[in-house]
Amino acid sequence: MKLLNANLSIVLLSSVAVVASAKAAGPAQVAGPVVQVSGGQVQGRLISGGGATFKGVPFAEPPLGDLRWRDPAPVMPWTGVRDASAFGHACTQRISGFNQEEGQNSQEDCLYLNVWTPAWPAKTRLPVMVWLYGGGNTAGAASVGYMDGTLLSRRGVVMVTINYRLGVFGFFAHPGLSAESPHHTSGNYGLLDQIAALKWVHDNISKFGGDPQRVTLFGQSAGAIDTSILVASPLSKGLIQRSIQESGPPIRPTDTLAQAEQAGVKFAEVVHASANSADAIKYLRSLSGPDLQKASIDKLATDGTLERPIIDGYLTPRYPALTYEQRLELNIPMIVGGNAREEARGYTREAMVRVINDNFGKLAPKAMAYYGLDKSALGNEDPLTGTASTQITADTRHRCGAEVESVWRSSHGRTTYQFQWDPPVAGEVGTRHQAEIPFVFGTLPHSGFLSGPYTNADKKLSDQIQTYWVNFATTGNPNLPNLNGLPEWPKANPTTRPYMEFTTDGPQARENLRREVCDLYIGALKETIPANTAAEK
């Protein structure tokens, strides 16, 4: 814990600000205000040009030692003033191509959040936007430059980004953990961290000028999937009033608690833990974080079962798709969608056939014909959505899942808006996974991951998507309070299936996004959902 002597805080922060401002994604920053939050006082920084930022604010106790694999514990109070001028550590994670910055010096002590406000002192209650990063629930952090909240906040919101436990630290289930839990369950610790952060926002955000009754939870990829799960969770009631899911619908295979516990038992055996459940957990908690992470990576290389949200009977009472199909999720306004080319995987024909069979079941022959795989080895290529392999990945993992969500929710009278993002990251061919993030945050970085060069047209498009997002956070309608000349975004309905397509020429309202193949996907999903009801038993 970093505590500052009250008499020295202004002097110290002023000297630190000069160094930190060179690293900040937003404008230069100087020493700033003190706020009382759950746990004690924190001192952030004023931002040159207006507003303030508070970084590395704890929303739960560090999940270390005996707190590893437990519900996030309330923050222990501190004395004095805590320095909130720098990000907290990212959560322990695997390092891959996109998360080099996040992965360096990642630690188990990572349950921190960050707040940006456009004015200080706050003059009015503003809507709040809480961001969940992506990374497959095994990587990512709230501290990277292209997700800096300064510019989005200046649109008229209080921005919050949070960390949550990842991989084996965030999603490990085991009978021994379930036995000691008051909920008789285990796993989903990363999701419980997100709930704890939302509770912190509910209790504290008014002190930063935020309105706790206008909270939009939004995220990308795993962060969007987690968002969709929380919207379907009874634990989120009263904490979320709107949601945005970028490339992450809830229509995915989901393990039951029993399946996840058995995977946990196998992992414990791999690291030579006792067969006795209680002793196994004691031993696993005694392992160092780096040793446990290394062991989990070796295990994940073989079956990948230690990193996913599960149906635990507590946070997730049932298969998420079933929750939406039965109209049991929170009745809140929602934006769902994804990118034209998501996660191009370069599938072989054999792999494409396997994925089609897995996702379309009895309707697989019709899907094969749709992708042209009945006539050529690698199928049809589309100028916008790419090769058949890329189309199959986007359709089955993202696009048609968002379509299902949009169709079901609008059929139930739930306010829903759908989108597709087409423009690529600068200099790339095709719109890949994550491409929209710097546009949403307005950062458009010049170096590092998702960097440019970006054009004036890109800046204009960034302005447009931010207008829709902030309007939605403000009113639950992306068209209000002011479109500033943008086209009206039609509300979803199951008949014409309207959506907003973001193109290099700006947003354009369209209908029936890949309806033929997504109807096949919906038909196949309806055949498989009844089998998932067993997860509740």
Q: What is the CATH number of the domain that holds 162?
A: 3.40.50.1820
CA–CA dist 247, 433 (Å, integer) = 7
What is the length of the chain?
A: 537
In a domain, 123, yes or no: yes
153-171 pLDDT tens trace: 999 999 999 999 999 999 9
Residue 413 binned pLDDT confidence (cut-offs 50, 70, 90): very high
Are residues 357 and 226 part of one domain? no
Q: Does a structural domain hold residue 340? A: no
Assess whether 207 and 352 both reside in one domain.
no
Is 524 a member of any domain?
yes
- Asked whether residue 333 is assigned to any structural domain, the reply reads no
The answer to whether residue 207 is domain-embedded is yes
- 337 found inside a domain: no
* Contact status, residue 144 vs residue 87, Cβ threshold 8 Å: no
Does a structural domain hold residue 45?
yes
Residue 1 has a pLDDT of: 44
- The yes-or-no verdict on residue 279 having pLDDT over 70 is yes
Do 264 and 356 belong to one domain?
Answer: no
Each residue of 308-339: pLDDT tens digit?
899 999 999 999 999 999 999 999 999 999 99
384 shares a domain with 271: no
* Segment 332-375, tens digit of pLDDT: 999 999 999 998 788 999 999 999 999 999 999 999 999 999 99
Which pLDDT does position 532 carry in this prediction?
55
pTM of the prediction? 0.92
Q: 499 and 376 share a domain?
A: yes
Residue 286 has pLDDT above 90, yes or no: yes
Residues 104-124: pLDDT tens digits? 789 999 999 999 999 999 989
- The percent of residues above 70 in pLDDT, for the chain, comes to 92
For residues 296 and 388, membership in a common domain is answered with no
385 with 277, same domain: the answer is: no
- Pick the last residue of a domain from 311, 328, 362: 311
- Percent helix, strand, coil in the chain, to 5, is 40, 20, 45
One domain, residues 271 and 144: yes
DSSP labels, 346-387 = ---HHHHHHHHHHHHGGGHHHHHHHTTTTTSSS---BTTTBS
Choose one of 287, 311, 335: the last residue of a domain: 311
CA dihedral (471, 472, 475, 481) in degrees, to 10, reads: 20
Does the pLDDT at position 22 exceed 50?
Answer: no
Do residues 420 and 277 share a domain?
no
Question: How far is the C-alpha of 121 from the C-alpha of 51, rounded, in Å?
Answer: 8
Pick the closest to residue 263 from 229, 193, 310, 320 (CA basis): 310
Average pLDDT of the chain is 90
Average pLDDT over residues 478-503: 97
Structural domain range at position 444: 348-536
Could you tell me if 282 and 403 lie in one domain?
Answer: no
The answer to whether position 335 is within a domain reads no
- Residue entry with tokens 């630190």: 16
Residues 256 and 358 in one domain: no
Confidence band, pLDDT 50/70/90 cuts, at residue 429: confident
CA distance 236 to 198: 8
Same domain, 190 and 265: yes
Which pLDDT belongs to residue 59? 98
Which sequence positions are flagged as catalytic?
A: 221, 343, 433
Query: Are 419 and 513 a contacting pair, CB within 8 Å?
Result: no
Mean pLDDT on 62-76: 98
Question: Is the pLDDT assigned to residue 30 strictly greater than 50?
Answer: no
Q: Which long-range contacts (CB under 8 A, 24 or more apart) does 377-380 make?
A: 377/349, 378/349, 379/352
Count of structural domains, the chain: 2
From 311, 339, 369, the end of a domain falls on 311
